[in-house]
Amino acid sequence: MIFKATRLTVAAALFGALPLAVMAQDFTPENPECIAPANPGGGWDFTCRQVGKSMQDEGLLSKTMQVVNLAGGGGGVAYAEVVNKRNDDNDLIVAASTATATRLAQGAYPGNTMDQVRWLASVGADYGVIAVAADSDIADLPALLEIMKTDPSAISVAGGSAVGGWDHLKVLIAANAYGIEDVRKVKYIAFDGGGEAVTQLLAGSVQAFTGDLSEAKGFVDSGDIKVLAVLAPDRLEGEFASFPTAREQGVEAIGANWRGFYAPGGMSDAAYDAWVSKIADLYASDHWKEIMATNGLAPLDLQGAEFEEFVATSVQQIQDISREIGIIK
Amino acid sequence: MDTLSSLADGFAIALTWQNLLLALLGCFLGTIMGALPGLGPSNGVAILIPLAFTLGLGATPSLILLTSVYYGAMYGGRISSILLNIPGDEPAMMTCLDGYPMAQKGMAGQALSLSGIASFVGAFFATWGLIFLAPQLVKIALLFGPAEYFALFALAFMTLGGVSSTNQAKSAFAAALGLGLAMIGVDTQTGVPRFTFGEVHLYDGLDFLVAIVGLFALSEVFIFLENRHGEADGKKEKMVIGRLTPPASMLKQTTPTMLRSTVLGFLAGVLPGAGASLGSFISYSMEKRLVDPKGKTFGKGDPRGVAAPEAGNNAAAGGALVPMLALGVPGSGTTAVLLAVLLSLNITPGPLLFSQNPDVVWGLIAALFIANFMLLAMNIPMVGLFTRVLMVPPRILMPVVAMISFVGIYGISGSSFDLLVMVGFGLLGWVLRKFDVPLVPIILGTLLGNSMENNLRRAITIDNGNWFTLVDSPLALTLWAIAIIGFILPLIIGRKVKSRMHERGDDEGSTAD
């Protein structure tokens, strides 16, 4: 593990030294295709469709990007398909997010590891939030965590991912940072998606919600829920600036659900560089900034080797927490 | 009257030539997709998203096209249920129970027109419900915590007896089998994979569509193969189509059914965790309890058994739009796709949608009305065309059914593993039909089993292991009371008519062979 991390860091340093600007532009995908490793309607599907549409609007792609939904195994079916069957496809990119890293870290894609594919770039991050209903007595994050510390059974936290998934891990990261020794005592209730979890918070079935900012946004605007903390390093910009970070309340917890893409491991360097620069150009466009703003996505501008290193670090982090709470041995 | 003037504005937006053409296109494509086994409303909508994007449509025209497809597919699902005993999608499953027997009695045309009218009634009133009740209905959704959802699912299972009439033990066995199959996949409450044998394709559980197409369509093909020299061929060729429109007496008889089912279906649609399948199922089994508790006509081609699930599932389709628009929480698979479309058009559904994007909301609602009238106008004259399917000799029809099944399933998932699972279900369906085990409870078990289990465990975990939490609210108690009455009452009535029960033949499971 240590060896792998070192090797990646070295690789990252080498690649990082190359100026991005001179990267090859001579590759043009003939039939650009994006695999969304889930059914239509989810975050990965959104990433593929939105990026595909925007790339065409911006003139980065001459053809419509075909979106293929390859659901199953929380992204594992698509991952195995790419590794085993489409390893040298230059026209293919696959939507990924923190959930992909989480499952890779926990070994939930049987037989697959993160270095079997090439990580392209991120297109933004959705920071985690911890929220309570608007009429709740709990005023800030330390107050919530204090109740969880003294009487863990009093607070049920609802989230949209399965136990061990990213929504669960976020609240554990916060609990851990606050000094709750046995994070396994934290009562987490898994729902089918963030929307259902928020609904149950409004219905009063649960006391707190852990999810992504984009999921919570509509309900904050309508005054139904109160965001206790954003798990971002600094306050976000624009309309989100009023949300306090966990950090400024003395809880050293950061949790970002990044969204980005990977490509088959055997993709040629020319194609890899072309895709990286296309995504970079898209990211830099004003059009994409607007989309990020309306969807509550925060900046996360990582491409090529930098992104690869970032994913490696996040896989490592998740492995550490998962081991701590006993999800993996 | 504010609402009505907003609606008028909506019609002004929707009634342009371009939008009307899009609605017509959507209705037509949706009906076809709904009728093909394997392609349901959610896939239909997903397939057409790129079309909406490539045409460069704005928010309202895109939504008009896609919701027309959605409503169209809900209409179309019934066609193959009635004509072939193969549901076009999950909610159309219940329509098989009485629709196919009606077709066998030579009333295919009437069953199709009647179900078209029932679909219209369900969707029409549900759209009105959406207009006037959306803000209030959101509050109903908020009354349902995990404990109440569990009671609701329990209610659905307790009224299972309504599905097949002869042998309750076989229904119970089928439901148990379905529940067992639902356990496959990663358990969300612990994150542990169950019964997946390290096969990554099974991590998300079995796909209902794969199960339905296998159990219904492929087993039908197997039965045909087995009997190919026998009477099956001859019997079907003699099938008569009969008159194409239902007589006034039949409409009169089914009107109360449609209205009751609309209410039930709509409510089921509004609950994010329930959806159209539960809507059509509860509508059917409640209707049976109410008008035919002795099980004399239901399951043998009672028109009310066709009207109830169709009104119910179309009303649920309208109901499912309530939580999607007002809460941003999809009430069904299809609304999840529509939600994603809204997001990619830079519209955030949620509590503020009605005030921030009124043009989109009211344009959409107006489009629902237009699509609904179009579908009625399109479906009734096309009944004659659809019924021609029955004239196709089985030796041609069955290979086509097999082909559509394979192409349809591969088209959605792109995985050959699902094809194997489908064939497995086909064999299972064939065996179970031999034993006269009804197939519908299997699908219900698979469909509802996971949600039922998860809600039970959520409720118990939230209350720290206290089982009494399940009966802790008036709503949960009411649901349990209905469930228990629904379970016990037929036992008492059933005993009284036991002697008469012997006169009756077999139920839907055996009609095919």
Name the burial class of residue A250, with classes exposed (0-12), middle (13-18) and buried (19+) by CB atoms within 10 angstroms of its CB: exposed
**Confidence at residue A214, expressed as pLDDT on a 0 to 100 scale:** 77
Contacts 24+ apart (CB under 8 A), A318-323: A318/A101, A318/A102, A318/A105, A318/A106, A318/A169, A319/A105, A319/A106, A321/A169, A321/A172, A321/A173, A321/A176, A322/A105, A322/A106, A322/A164, A322/A169
Q: Which fold would CATH assign to domain A2-125+257-324?
A: D-Maltodextrin-Binding Protein; domain 2 (3.40.190)
Q: Which residues of B touch A218 (CB under 8 A)?
A: 328, 348-352
β-pairing, B185-187 with A225-230? unpaired
Say if residue B59's pLDDT is above 70: yes
**Confidence at residue A123, expressed as pLDDT on a 0 to 100 scale:** 93
Asked if B142 contacts B351 with a C-beta cutoff of 8 angstroms, the reply is no
Is pLDDT larger for residue B463 or for residue A294? B463
Q: Does A299 lie at the interface with B, CB-CB under 8 angstroms?
A: no
- Percent of chain B scored above 90 by pLDDT? 10
Residue B332 carries which DSSP code? Answer: S
**Confidence at residue B363, expressed as pLDDT on a 0 to 100 scale:** 83
| Mean residue pLDDT across chain B | 80
CA distance A311 to A105: 10
Is pLDDT larger for residue B347 or for residue A268? A268
Q: Which residues of A touch B352 (CB under 8 A)?
A: 218, 221-222
Let me know if the fold of A2-125+257-324 is the same as that of A128-249. yes
Tell me if A156 and B461 make a contact (CB, 8 A cut-off): yes
Asked if B454 contacts B191 with a C-beta cutoff of 8 angstroms, the reply is no
Q: Which residues lie below 8 Å from residue A251, measured CB to CB, with a gap of 6+?
A: A141, A142, A145, A174, A177, A178, A229
Q: What angle do CA B423, B426, B431 make, to 5 degrees?
A: 130
Report residue A204: phi and psi, to 5°: 85, 10
Q: Which residues of A touch B328 (CB under 8 A)?
A: 195, 218
Q: Which residues lie below 8 Å from residue B47, measured CB to CB, with a gap of 6+?
A: B33, B39
What is the number of H-type helices and E-type strands within chain B?
23, 2
Of B191, B201, B414, nearest to A163 by CB-CB distance is: B191
C-alpha distances out from residue B66 to A67, A125, A163, B49, B59, Å: 17, 29, 34, 8, 11
Of A203, A217, A221, nearest to B144 by CB-CB distance is: A203
CA distance B1 to B165: 48
**Which portions of chain A are predicted below pLDDT 50?**
1-24
The tokens for A254 are: 């950061």
Nearest to A158 by CA among A199, A189, A120, A202: A189
Of B202, B204, B350, nearest to A219 by CB-CB distance is: B350
Q: How far is A294 from chain B (nearest CA, A)?
A: 7
Tell me if B203 and A190 make a contact (CB, 8 A cut-off): no
- A15-19, B60-64, B175-179: segment of lowest average pLDDT: A15-19
Name the burial class of residue B175, with classes exposed (0-12), middle (13-18) and buried (19+) by CB atoms within 10 angstroms of its CB: buried
Q: What is the mean pLDDT of residues B262-286?
A: 81
* pLDDT tens-digit map of B138-152: 777 788 888 988 988
- Percent of chain B scored above 70 by pLDDT? 86
Q: Does A80 lie at the interface with B, CB-CB under 8 angstroms?
A: yes
Q: Which residue of A has its CA nearest to B206?
A: A72
**Confidence at residue A91, expressed as pLDDT on a 0 to 100 scale:** 93
Query: How many residues in chain A?
Result: 329
Say if residue B113's pLDDT is above 50: yes
Is pLDDT larger for residue B16 or for residue B181? B181
Q: How far is A138 from chain B (nearest CA, A)?
A: 18
Say if residue B231's pLDDT is above 70: no
Segment of A316-325, B102-111, B114-123, B216-225 carrying the highest mean pLDDT: B114-123
CA distance B146 to B470: 9
Beta pairing partners, A124: A259
Spell out the SS3 assignment of chain A: CHHHHHHHHHHHHHHHHCCHHHCCCCCCCCCCEEEECCCCCCHHHHHHHHHHHHHHHCCCCCCCCEEEECCCHHHHHHHHHHHHHCCCCCCEEEEEEHHHHHHHHCCCCCCCCHHHEEEEEEEEEEEEEEEEECCCCCCCHHHHHHHHHHCHHHCEEEECCCCCCHHHHHHHHHHHHHCCCCHHHCEEEECCCHHHHHHHHHCCCCCEEEEEHHHHHHHHHCCCEEEEEECCCCCCCHHHCCCCECHHHCCCCCCEEEEEEEEECCCCHHHHHHHHHHHHHHHHCHHHHHHHHHCCCECCCCEHHHHHHHHHHHHHHHHHHHHHCCCCC
- Chain-centroid distance of CA B343 in Å reads 26
* pLDDT tens-digit map of B302-343: 888 899 999 998 898 888 888 888 777 776 777 777 877 777
Q: How far is A76 from chain B (nearest CA, A)?
A: 6
CA distance B365 to B13: 11
Q: Does A151 lie at the interface with B, CB-CB under 8 angstroms?
A: no
**Confidence at residue B232, expressed as pLDDT on a 0 to 100 scale:** 47
CA distance B357 to B59: 10
CA distance B392 to B233: 11
Spell out the SS3 assignment of B360-382: HHHHHHHHHHHHHHHHHHHHHHH
Tell me if A162 and B327 make a contact (CB, 8 A cut-off): no
β-pairing, A117-133 with A187-190? unpaired
Q: Does A87 lie at the interface with B, CB-CB under 8 angstroms?
A: no
CA distance A92 to A89: 6
Instruction: Write b or e for each residue in B283-296: b if 16 or more Cβ atoms lie within 10 A of its Cβ, otherwise e.
Output: bbbbbbbebbbbbe
Tell me if B50 and A64 make a contact (CB, 8 A cut-off): yes
Q: Which residues of B touch A206 (CB under 8 A)?
A: 462
C-alpha distances out from residue A82 to A34, A79, A108, A252, B502, Å: 11, 5, 16, 37, 58
Beta pairing partners, A156: A187
CA distance A197 to A220: 14
The tokens for A162 are: 């399965």
Q: Which residues of B touch A74 (CB under 8 A)?
A: 186, 203-204
Of B142, B204, B415, nearest to A203 by CB-CB distance is: B142
Q: Which residue of B has its CA nearest to A39?
A: B337
Total beta-carbon pairs less than 8 A apart between chain A and chain B: 155
Q: Which fold would CATH assign to domain A128-249?
A: D-Maltodextrin-Binding Protein; domain 2 (3.40.190)
Q: Which residue of A has its CA nearest to B203?
A: A73
Q: Which residue of A has its CA nearest to B352?
A: A222
CA distance B403 to B221: 11
C-alpha distances out from residue B398 to B407, B412, B421, Å: 14, 21, 20
Q: What is the extent of the structural domain holding B374?
A: 2-510
Tell me if A74 and B203 make a contact (CB, 8 A cut-off): yes
Tell me if A222 and B351 make a contact (CB, 8 A cut-off): yes
Of A153, A190, A203, nearest to B189 by CB-CB distance is: A190
Report residue A256: phi and psi, to 5°: -115, 130
For residue A297, the one-letter residue type is: L
- Residue the block writes with tokens 């040298």: A88
Q: Which residue of B has its CA nearest to A151?
A: B464
Q: Does A67 lie at the interface with B, CB-CB under 8 angstroms?
A: yes
Q: How far is A162 from chain B (nearest CA, A)?
A: 4
**Confidence at residue B64, expressed as pLDDT on a 0 to 100 scale:** 85
Nearest to A75 by CA among A15, A210, A191, A165: A165
Q: How many domains does chain B have?
A: 1
Q: Which residue of B has its CA nearest to A207?
A: B462
